[in-house]
A and B are shown apart, each in its own frame.
Chain A
Amino acid sequence: MNAAPQAVAATAGFDVERLRADFPILQQEINGKPLVYLDNGASTQKPQAVIDAVSNFYAHDYANIHRGVHTLSERATAAYEGARDRVQRFLNAADRREIIFTSGTTEAINLVAQSFGGQKIGQGDEIILTGMEHHSNIVPWQLLAERVGATIKVVPITDDGALDLDAYTSLFGPRTRLVSLVHVSNALGTVNPVQAMVETAHAHDVPVLLDGAQAVAHTPVDVQALGCDFYAFSGHKIYGPSGIGVLYGRRELLEAMPPWQGGGDMITTVAFEGSTYAAPPYRFEAGTPHIAGVVGLAAALDYVDAVGLPSIAAYEHDLLDYATTAVGELPGLRLIGTAPEKAAILSFVFDGIHPHDIGTVLDFEGIAIRAGHHCAMPVMTRFGVAATARASFGIYNTRAEVDTLVQGLGKVREMFS
């Protein structure tokens, strides 16, 4: 429709039909129609390589990790620690000890809020968040702020769904202790200029946590180039298992942070007179982790890197342009989030029809979208809507599926007008 020649060139080597064949769940019909899965912002589907990695691990190599002297424990430990190396390479972290496995982005942020925040943020101190944060990057800070008497400052959103960077700069003061902000907005699709925002924060000696949940599957992330102090993401949003995620933390910061959960594997010695704690990353990994999830995550990162994040980014950008134009031609449709830099997420309201009704009618056409506040209620308030419908794209989505979405929206209008 509107493919510029350079976009064609950038996506020429991207064989989406071959990729689709890697995802068994896509080969099915919903309500008698081929499944069109456009809810990747909520969670992505899994390629056979990830399913096999988890399944083979349980079938052949599973045991608890660390401390075991038997063969299976050694195999499982090697797989688990090998995955840590894999994540280190994926994020280009300087040191493998900077990679902590968590249950997901939410737990990673809670870890920083409780451990780093509990130690470094006190009465009268300030935390900077933005108006486009997911609830998981708001509530952990509110819990901390209530407990210690700190204050939260919020970077406002412009009308097109970008951050007001002048306002951001003006929020810093002598009591600012941390910036925590989203790399890519789940509700708007906005890609924030995080590298520049980290520079601004560092000029004020303020560390920065980046919530990368919506970013890692769509754009290459290099934590050293970004300069961030913490980076969090979830496995299930990058074609890996749910229940597993990562916190990257700069080593000097992690070394100084206290444990946040106590248990096995996070100690050096335990005695009733007092215990001593392991060094990072183990200090922050109490209890038996989601071992198979870690193995599946490593397989997912292998898969994504084999496809190549630069070509994924180019392909999805082309798809976003196509979808934005196609959906934008529907009368009565208003896109929420039209920032110049966007990931492949279309959030919209349509003709006064409630997003849940849109979602139910589209489901009947085999199309899976999300309807609601996307765990970003302040964003909904900012744009004066209770909820939006959201189509979010992944590596296996096609222009033909965008066309199906547009046809489906035509049926939605037919029913409710």
Chain B
Amino acid sequence: MSDLRELYQEVILDHGRKPRNFGPLEEANRHADGYNPLCGDQVQVHLHVEDGIVRAVRFEGAGCAISTASASLMTQAMTGKPESDAKALFEEFHQLVVGDGHCGERLGKLVVFAGVREYPSRVKCATLAWHTLQAALDDDGREVTTE
């Protein structure tokens, strides 16, 4: 099962089982809902943004190990960052999972998702939370979908 472990790395399994920053966020001032119509996965991202800094990120919802771990690691990566970082980070993350092999410098722990590029049907699982984060930052109130 060694190849499969490249997709399901220990960090992903761990965050899939025990997602961090999971649940509502009382002081949140931005929200967005994300939905993957292919599998029915749903995620809600709650943000507390102040002075252009993402003070807190939490998420709720139900999804597979990949999408749950992706949301969990995303909340850790974004906490305390300027909101302007989100776009650049998502771009690097997207490059990582759609597969030109490029690994951006900002990614840190997020590189565990490199294996997703071998599984095109799972790319949307990995990016759902990120699309939703983007919508929450834009705070335009519409539900985003992966389609």
Contacts and interface: CB of A to CB of B under 8 A. Distances in A.
Contact of B40 (A361, A373, A411): A373
Sort chain B's interface into a size bin. 20 to 34
Interface in A6-35: 31
A353 B68 CA distance: 12
Contacts, number: 52
Given A364-B1, A411-B1, A416-B13, A357 B39 contact: no
B38 interface: yes
A416 B8 CA distance: 9
A361 B4 contact: yes
Interface in B52-89: 62-66, 68
Given A387-B39, A415-B8, A360 B119 contact: yes
B39 A364 contact: no
A175 interface: no
Contacts of B40: 372-373, 377, 380, 386-387
Nearest to B5: A415
Contacts of A371: 39
B41 interface: yes
**In terms of DSSP, what is the predominant structure of the interface of chain A?**
helix
Interface in A338-390: 353-357, 360-361, 364, 371-373, 377, 380, 386-387
Interface string A382-402: 000011000000000000000
Interface in B12-65: 13, 16-17, 38-42, 62-65
B1 A386 contact: no
Interface residues of A, number: 19
B147 interface: no
A377 B40 CA distance: 8
B96 interface: no
Contacts of B66: 356-357
B137 interface: no
B39 A372 contact: yes
A357 B3 contact: no
B3 A356 contact: no
A390 to B, nearest CB: 13
A354 B7 contact: no
B125 interface: yes
B117 interface: no
A207 B125 CA distance: 43
Contacts of A361: 4, 8
Nearest to B41: A386
Given A360-B122, A364-B3, A354 B65 contact: yes
A-B pairs with lowest CB-CB distance, top 3: A354-B64, A356-B64, A386-B40
Given A386-B40, A416-B13, A416-B17, 11 more contacts: A356-B66, A357-B64, A357-B65, A360-B7, A364-B3, A371-B39, A372-B40, A387-B40, A415-B1, A415-B4, A415-B13
